[in-house]
Structure 1
Amino acid sequence: METNALSTPNRPLPLAAQQDDDEIDLLKLWSAIWRRKWAIISLTLVVAMVTVLIVLSLTPIYRASATLLIEQKKANVVSIEQVYGLEGSGSEYLQTQFELLKSRSLAERVVNELGLTTHPEFDPRQQEAPLIDIKGWISQLNPKQLIPGEFPEDLEAETGPSEEQIFASVVRQFMRRISIEPQGKSQLVNVQVDMADPRMAANAANRLAQGFIESQLEASMAMSADASAWMNSRLSELRTKLKEAETQLQNFREQENLVDIDGVSTITAAELSATSNRMVDARSARAEAESLYRQVQSMKSGGWRRLATVSAVLGDPLIQQFKANEAQAKSKVEELSKRYGARHPAMEAARTELAAAEASLRGQVEQVVAAIERNYRLAVANEQSLRSSVNENRAQIQDISRKEYQLREYQREVDTNRALYDTFLTRLKETAATSDLETVNARVVDTATVPTTPIKPKKPLIVLLATFLAALVGVGLSLLLEMLNNTFKSTDDVENKLNLPVLGILPLVKKKDRKQVAHLFESDKDKSFSESIRTVRTSLVLSGMDKPHKVTVVTSSVPGEGKSTVAANLAIALGQMESVVLIDADMRRPTLAKNFDFAVGTPGLANLIAGTAELSECIQNQYGIDMISAGAVPPNPLELLSSPRFEALIEQLKDKYDRIIIDSPPTQAVSDALMLGTLANALIYVIKSDDTAIPLAEKGVGQLLQSNAPVTGVVLNQVDINKAKKRGYSYGGYYDYYGYSEGAKS
């Protein structure tokens, strides 16, 4: 035992303390699960047994299935769907039929036919009330109960549900039992009904399938009747419109005196074409005559001689002949003038002949010019006459075109109404002729048979799943408890979290010995406890081999962790080898006087520092050591402990005793421990196993180290060894198993 204790203070820190806290330690998780394995197994077994009992009490449900073939298109002679715009093709059509199979109207039909309102499985009046009526409990929380007065639903609840309510409830329940399952990409569909009564389930499935076919047939016949009625009314309207259109057409013909508008429009168009051609010729003749007329008019001022030079005049045969006669007469005059004198009869005859030729030529020129002017006026008049004829023909054609357009419009209205009337008349006759032809889009392929094997509950699967989930929940709860239990449970936790050596562990004391725990080491009733105190004593002595720890302070994080017990028993153990004085410096919650039965009013540390008592009066000797209690509880303990008189007292006690053990207040309660640490050579930090929170201890140790307190190590107190062994914790080097076993035997 001593060898193990010697190695404890100088034990190197484990590698886990140097790793990142965020890393997941699988071994640690497995250890947490393994420590609670029996709890997990117990939870799993209990849940499995309860599940078995529940499953055995469940009512088996049977499923009956009938197979339907749904054709995508009806074999109708008359396509009524075209009238309503419903085409029976495509996946949407099949999906619609599937939803119709689950419709409320079809469910109501089956409920009525099978009388399910009186069946025990559906009738609420025949069903037993559940052991735990959750709905009834919730209804008791209705706030309307706090309002005075009666409500209709309250009166209804007193008198019981009506027949309508029962029927609606049964229909809802039955609809929840129906399932439609298409078979792949085919047109086959399984109509399934789940019930506790297998025979009734088969009847319901068959009635659903047959009811669907009958409802489709009824809907088809009703649709045919509706279509016939609608077409009759529509046919009457079309007949009236056709008569009105024909009357308007005939009235228009009589009003406009139209017999054959096509022939009239053809003659008028031919006349317009011929007149237009003549007008083109007349325009050309007028242009030509106008050209000659303009030439003649421009030459009039020059006399008839100049007019004779105009090409149109000059081209006249008579003009050319008269010009030749004039030229001949003129040459004869010139010839005779050379032989005869002016008064010679030959000359006079020749001049008379010349004058007659000139007169003839002049007269002819004037006639030609007059003819040109007359031709021009005639051409202009002819052109104007033809233009008037063209305009008149064009107006006539436009008028005929307007009449033709209006006539065509009346004719088109008549033709359209006649076509619609003929179509509806033909369809109506076809519908009337085939109205008694019963065609459906579905047929039963396989009828439902009475099932022999229930589909649910799947008892083995339910038990297996419940057992698995229970084990999973148990593991989860174990890990959750491990995460929530953020306390020190082993020496490894202390070393990893605080980086301090563990001086020893103290086992959990039996209930019957807890009244004497302050001096349990001296009585030696608990061998394991005594050996543990010796281990702590050895660790403390060996940690100060080079420089003995004269002043040792014992503290903890919070009250109740056992620091006073550790201080008292450690002082008694050291008193077996050295002179020791135990000082109770926890003047706010003193325990030393009470634990060792000091007389009431015994002076102590407070009196000694305040100067109201002598040292000899304050020292009480028990179990081989001197003890100084806290004395009268002062109002200012921290001021007393930080006074020079307390420091002088410690120096005085150092000369008198080999060891001074000081029971200090907790670090998280007051600051006394921080001040006492400055006067100590060693400081023992007591941690209660499986109780002290890790952050609390880290904070306390951190405060002590910041104050330069000589924190020597940690004592893990009140360790439940049996519980720790079950959890897989080992305390080798800190605990003497031989001593524990001896103590257990005694």
Structure 2
Amino acid sequence: MNTKEEEIHLRDYLRIINKRRGTVVMVLIVVLALTLLRTFSATPLYSGTTKVMIEKVAPSELVDAYRYNSWDPEYYETQFQLIQSQGVGRRVVDKLKLEETWDSYMGGAEENSSLLQGVGNWFREVKTIVFKTLGLGRTASESAEEETEAGSGRSLADGLASMISGGISVSPVEESRIVDISYVSTNPQFAALIANSVAEAYIEETIEMKMESTRRSLDWMTKKADEERQKLEKTEIDLQDYMRANDLVTLEDRIAVLPQKLSQIGTELIRAEANRENLEASYYKARKVSNDPDAAETIPRIAEDKGLQTLREQIIKAEQHAMELSGKYGRKHPSMIKAANDLEVLKNKKRQIVTRLIAGMRNEYELALSFENNLLDQMKKTKAEALNLNEKFIQYGVLKREIDTNRQLFDALLVKMKEQSITGETQPVNLWIVEEASVPTYPISPRKTRNILLGILVGLFGGVGLAFFIDYLDNTVKYPEETESQLDTPVLGLIMFHKTENQNVEEVVLKEPLSPLAESYKALRTGVLLSAADAPPRKILVTSSEAGAGKTTTSCNLALSLAQSEKRVLLIDCDLRKPRMHKVFGLSNKSGLSTYLAGVSAGGFLQEGPIPNLTLMSSGPIPPNPSELLTSARMQKLLDTLQESFDIIICDTPPLLSVADARILSRVCDGVIVVTKARQTTYEMARKALKGLRDVNSTVLGVVINALNLEKSDYYYYNYYQYYYSAYKEEKPQEEAA
């Protein structure tokens, strides 16, 4: 936000305050009068204050010293709440026997009259709201009255205790551990007595609470120790039963042997697996050549057999002998037949030996496989045994730890019980009354100067707030800057409200040319002529959002002021529903715009105005179809024809929100002026009117604020108009004398 906007806003705020200064002054007077009435009729209140030092108890050797904090806000806030508790209040009531002596202290504290009591009640409600907002406490008299009303269904002692606890205020002294305990009452002796009694009751209550806490703690620990002892005995019995049931006496020795056994079995298993794989390979290789003895001899295990080696030599010799005989004899020779039979017998024997050797290899392989499987079974059983023993050992450890834990807890409780017993007999004292309350001499309330200043401030702020609220509810057109901001449309002129000597305000420019009202229309004339950048608009439509805004008055005076500036002006009354211009200027309305548009007459509808350069066209008789006439081609042709003879044509039309006539004509005019009436036309109505024009692409020149009472609103233009108005009043008697 720039500096100019801030200045405008500040000026608007000051304007609102100045405009509604009567409201501000009225609220100020009422609030100040009530404040004075309450202040000078209130019963004096006295405050008694006792100073108490509250020292946080330092930790003993039994408590962790590193957790100690000498200033703990939560601790001190707790003590403050304890001071204001019902228990302390009841202790004071019992100690002072207030049920019997209350009337002697407070017998004459009632209000003097019902009127003052009513005013006092009202102020008490306001004060309660203010005190709650500011975080302040209640006075003793307020607490007493509240508790007396609320305690009708309770005993008198409870009501008095609530009154005392509610009336006590506690405030810490800065940079110290001392607190002020204050009590406010209409009786000074009673105020001091209650403050001192509350301090003493607070100390007694604290000591008793500590002793009660110690006793309860000791009872609880005794009960808890008995429970822990029973739990310890039960866990010890459970451990013995478990060891007996699972034979866990030599458990640790058995667990120690298992790793060695697993290692030995693992070594043997590796060897057995290697042997089995070797035998398996030899056996499967031999089985493939079991039908070929010669090929089987390539297997080392078969080739190494002694009997097979001897037989192999015999076969070789038999083959050599057969070859020698074949050179001498034929195949059927008895010697050859015998040699062949001998060779075949040897080969069959070789085949039998190979078959026997392969069967032996199979037996060795199966034996090795069986041995390997046995080792695997032993490994699984040993591992399962190890896992079982580990599970038993884990459960044994759980039971053992539970016994140790229960024993430690039981021993700790025994130690704490002894410590608590000693602590209960030696409770530390950390509360001291530093200064007792003395009987106050001067009242603390009412504070006349403060109340008066507060009444003035509340009255001023309340009055200003009410003024702004009333102004906020006013949503009507008033001031140019606000209007331009709300409507996003320039303000062409500001027509002030002024009572003229001439009742016909439509001709004020002619009848009272030096009046402030006439000057307003002349300023509007200047605004209209400068509203377009290139040249002044020649066909101007004047309308309003609603009836009674002053559009006809504005049209007439604008036409007169333009004619006075040597402009040839034609003023047309385009309001074919409720025409009024002919009455203003005393014209005949037998013929006019309606007769021309209807084709009844082709001429004679223009009439001379009251001054040179001003020509008038009345509306003519009211037609049954005004909208159809205004949208006809004759209307467009009429304006185009008349534009050649006049510098400016002004069309006075019906209100925008009532009928569509103004929007129809706005499309054939160069610009539209929308008249609004100050404090009557709302921004919502003006926006709807402007939106209707923009929807048909009409050119809106601006807005005119009509009938603004500057003296009432105290707007900053008022001094300017007041200057002209004073000059006009001085000149008027001179003219009459002449």
Scaled by the length of structure 1, the TM-score of the pair is 0.52
**Alignment of 1:172 onto 2:162:** yes
**Alignment of 1:191 onto 2:190:** no
Deviation per CA, 1:473-497: give whole Å up to 9, x if none.
Answer: 6666667747976745248965997
Among residues 529, 533, 540, which one is paired with 2:517 in the alignment?
529
> How far apart, in 1, do the equivalents of 2:160 and 2:43 lie?
19
Using the TM superposition, give the Cα deviation of residue 518 of structure 1 relative to its aligned residue in structure 2, in angstroms: 2.6
The letter of the residue matching 2:7 is L
Going from structure 1 to structure 2, the CA distance change for 1:575 and 1:185 (only over 3 Å counts) comes to closer
Among residues 7, 21, 25, which one is paired with 1:42 in the alignment?
25
* Residue in 2 that maps onto 1:110: 92
Using the TM superposition, give the Cα deviation of residue 510 of structure 1 relative to its aligned residue in structure 2, in angstroms: 1.6
**Alignment of 1:63 onto 2:63:** no
**Alignment of 1:605 onto 2:585:** no
Q: Is the 8 A contact 1:64 1:193 kept in 2?
A: yes
> How far apart, in 1, do the equivalents of 2:209 and 2:672 lie?
97
Q: Is the 8 A contact 1:216 1:440 kept in 2?
A: no
Deviation per CA, 1:638-672: give whole Å up to 9, x if none.
Answer: 22101022234445655777764320234455443
* Residue in 1 that maps onto 2:252: none
Going from structure 1 to structure 2, the CA distance change for 1:119 and 1:24 (only over 3 Å counts) comes to farther
* Residue in 2 that maps onto 1:450: 439
* Residue in 1 that maps onto 2:665: 676
**Alignment of 1:32 onto 2:22:** no
**Alignment of 1:584 onto 2:566:** no
> How far apart, in 2, do the equivalents of 1:116 and 1:107 lie?
11
Among residues 479, 485, 491, which one is paired with 1:489 in the alignment?
479
Using the TM superposition, give the Cα deviation of residue 461 of structure 1 relative to its aligned residue in structure 2, in angstroms: 4.0
Using the TM superposition, give the Cα deviation of residue 689 of structure 1 relative to its aligned residue in structure 2, in angstroms: 4.7
Using the TM superposition, give the Cα deviation of residue 63 of structure 1 relative to its aligned residue in structure 2, in angstroms: 2.0
Going from structure 1 to structure 2, the CA distance change for 1:102 and 1:597 (only over 3 Å counts) comes to same
Q: Is the 8 A contact 2:47 2:188 kept in 1?
A: yes
Going from structure 1 to structure 2, the CA distance change for 1:202 and 1:124 (only over 3 Å counts) comes to closer
Going from structure 1 to structure 2, the CA distance change for 1:457 and 1:589 (only over 3 Å counts) comes to farther
Q: Is the 8 A contact 2:476 2:678 kept in 1?
A: no
Going from structure 1 to structure 2, the CA distance change for 1:715 and 1:192 (only over 3 Å counts) comes to closer
* Residue in 1 that maps onto 2:191: 201
Q: Is the 8 A contact 2:483 2:491 kept in 1?
A: no
Using the TM superposition, give the Cα deviation of residue 736 of structure 1 relative to its aligned residue in structure 2, in angstroms: 5.2
> How far apart, in 2, do the equivalents of 1:494 and 1:195 lie?
61
Question: RMSD of the TM alignment (CA)?
Answer: 6.1
Q: Secondary structure of the equivalent of 1:727?
A: coil
The letter of the residue matching 1:103 is S
Q: Gaps spanning 5+ residues in structure 1: where?
A: 1-19, 75-80, 138-158, 242-412
* Residue in 1 that maps onto 2:145: none
Larger mean CA deviation between 584-593 and 726-735 belongs to 726-735
Going from structure 1 to structure 2, the CA distance change for 1:190 and 1:37 (only over 3 Å counts) comes to closer
Q: Is the 8 A contact 1:552 1:680 kept in 2?
A: yes
Q: Is the 8 A contact 1:495 1:501 kept in 2?
A: no
> How far apart, in 2, do the equivalents of 1:160 and 1:490 lie?
59
Among residues 496, 515, 519, which one is paired with 1:507 in the alignment?
496
Larger mean CA deviation between 193-202 and 32-41 belongs to 32-41
Q: How many residues align?
A: 509
> How far apart, in 1, do the equivalents of 2:458 and 2:166 lie?
28
Among residues 673, 685, 709, which one is paired with 1:720 in the alignment?
709
Q: Is the 8 A contact 1:124 1:166 kept in 2?
A: no
The letter of the residue matching 1:67 is K
> How far apart, in 2, do the equivalents of 1:615 and 1:479 lie?
58
Point out the structure with max Rg over C-alpha.
Answer: 1
* Residue in 2 that maps onto 1:142: none
Among residues 712, 717, 720, which one is paired with 1:729 in the alignment?
717
* Residue in 1 that maps onto 2:271: none
The letter of the residue matching 1:42 is V
> How far apart, in 2, do the equivalents of 1:523 and 1:499 lie?
32
Going from structure 1 to structure 2, the CA distance change for 1:90 and 1:638 (only over 3 Å counts) comes to closer
Using the TM superposition, give the Cα deviation of residue 66 of structure 1 relative to its aligned residue in structure 2, in angstroms: 1.9
Going from structure 1 to structure 2, the CA distance change for 1:121 and 1:696 (only over 3 Å counts) comes to farther
Superposed, which structure 2 residues align to 1:120-269 within 5 Å? 130-131=118-119, 162=152, 164=154, 166-183=156-173, 188-213=178-203
* Residue in 1 that maps onto 2:632: 643
Going from structure 1 to structure 2, the CA distance change for 1:174 and 1:565 (only over 3 Å counts) comes to same
Deviation per CA, 1:535-590: give whole Å up to 9, x if none.
Answer: 55577679899988764432234433311101123344556767765322123443
Superposed, which structure 2 residues align to 1:286-305 within 5 Å? none
Deviation per CA, 1:622-650: give whole Å up to 9, x if none.
Answer: 74666544445445432210102223444
Among residues 648, 652, 659, which one is paired with 1:663 in the alignment?
652
> How far apart, in 1, do the equivalents of 2:120 and 2:32 lie?
22
Q: Matched residues, percent identical?
A: 28
* Residue in 1 that maps onto 2:542: 554
Q: Secondary structure of the equivalent of 1:560?
A: coil
Going from structure 1 to structure 2, the CA distance change for 1:650 and 1:451 (only over 3 Å counts) comes to same
Superposed, which structure 2 residues align to 1:224-623 within 5 Å? 442-456=431-445, 458-465=447-454, 467-468=456-457, 471=460, 481=471, 487=477, 489-490=479-480, 502=492, 504-510=493-499, 516-524=504-512, 527-534=515-522, 536=524, 551-573=539-561, 581-593=570-582, 595=584, 602=590, 604-612=592-600, 616=604, 623=610
Q: Is the 8 A contact 1:33 1:475 kept in 2?
A: no
Going from structure 1 to structure 2, the CA distance change for 1:532 and 1:197 (only over 3 Å counts) comes to same
Using the TM superposition, give the Cα deviation of residue 107 of structure 1 relative to its aligned residue in structure 2, in angstroms: 0.8
Using the TM superposition, give the Cα deviation of residue 197 of structure 1 relative to its aligned residue in structure 2, in angstroms: 2.0
> How far apart, in 1, do the equivalents of 2:160 and 2:44 lie?
20
Going from structure 1 to structure 2, the CA distance change for 1:449 and 1:580 (only over 3 Å counts) comes to same
The letter of the residue matching 1:26 is E
Q: Is the 8 A contact 2:515 2:725 kept in 1?
A: no
Q: Is the 8 A contact 1:555 1:664 kept in 2?
A: yes
The letter of the residue matching 2:439 is V
> How far apart, in 2, do the equivalents of 1:232 and 1:680 lie?
105
The letter of the residue matching 1:105 is G
Q: Is the 8 A contact 2:711 2:718 kept in 1?
A: no
> How far apart, in 2, do the equivalents of 1:716 and 1:698 lie?
14
Going from structure 1 to structure 2, the CA distance change for 1:529 and 1:163 (only over 3 Å counts) comes to closer
Q: Secondary structure of the equivalent of 1:519?
A: helix
Q: Secondary structure of the equivalent of 2:154?
A: helix
Deviation per CA, 1:145-164: give whole Å up to 9, x if none.
Answer: xxxxxxxxxxxxxx997573
The letter of the residue matching 1:62 is Y
> How far apart, in 2, do the equivalents of 1:506 and 1:52 lie?
46
Deviation per CA, 1:384-422: give whole Å up to 9, x if none.
Answer: xxxxxxxxxxxxxxxxxxxxxxxxxxxxx9xx99xx9xx
The answer to which structure, 1 or 2, has the higher relative contact order (CA under 8 A, 6+ apart) is: 1
* Residue in 2 that maps onto 1:288: none
> How far apart, in 1, do the equivalents of 2:531 and 2:215 lie?
111
> How far apart, in 2, do the equivalents of 1:132 and 1:489 lie?
44
> How far apart, in 2, do the equivalents of 1:685 and 1:203 lie?
79
The letter of the residue matching 2:166 is R
The letter of the residue matching 1:31 is R
Using the TM superposition, give the Cα deviation of residue 722 of structure 1 relative to its aligned residue in structure 2, in angstroms: 3.4
Going from structure 1 to structure 2, the CA distance change for 1:591 and 1:23 (only over 3 Å counts) comes to farther
The letter of the residue matching 1:66 is T
Q: Gaps spanning 5+ residues in structure 2: where?
A: 126-148, 231-406
Using the TM superposition, give the Cα deviation of residue 51 of structure 1 relative to its aligned residue in structure 2, in angstroms: 3.8
